Structure 1
Amino acid sequence: MRSTRERPSVHVRPPLCLLTCRHVFFDPACLEPAALLLRTPSSPAPKEIELQFSAHVSFPVIVLHDATGRRFESGTPRVDDSTVVEAVAGPLPPGSHTIAWRVVWPGGR
């Protein structure tokens, strides 16, 4: 024997938060990477490295090494909104040096 109970009717309305969520989660600005705008030092014997980005960044990592691979960064990088500063350990030897960096910007990359 079949039940004669009716199913409750459900009215589906587009949620208002759908528009809001679209702007929060799919903001095109969040997909653009933070660009490196300015870097220092320009002197041959820097005391610190300063990197300025186009957006707020977090979780920075900066590596400074010479041609032999010896590293010269000192301590943990400091972040002030879109600027990251890393101290340099001791005087740099003559020759070429490489600064490598990694940050996370609002897009999560």
Structure 2
Amino acid sequence: MAKTGYKLQEFVAHSGNVNCLRIGRKASRLFITGGDDHNVNLWMIGKTTSLMSLCGHTTTVESVTLDSAEALVLSGASSGVIKLWDLQEAKSLGSNRWKALA
């Protein structure tokens, strides 16, 4: 038997493309997105506006993940910069530039 999906809600998450999305595992109520607008946005399922926008990347955000406590976010940009964000403080704890291995 084939499963059918239903669109529950649609909203604009970023001013450009949404490149990545991760749903938190703790309660499955939070999710984060990264986009062409260089931002990482935090959302609550069922809401059409973001809870916060984490700004600081200078290039497209390509990857995001949440820690198991949903207190930290790790984001990676196309420039090779990876940032660690504290959601309580809504700020970056630091960043590092990584070079891809050939």
| Pairwise TM-score range, normalised by the shorter structure | under 0.3
- Structure number with greater Rg is 1
Normalised by the length of structure 1, the TM-score is: 0.24
Per chain length, whose mean CA-contact separation is higher, i.e. which structure has more relative contact order (CA < 8 Å, sep 6+)? 1
Whose strand proportion is higher, 1 or 2?
2
Structure with more of its chain in helix, by fraction: 1
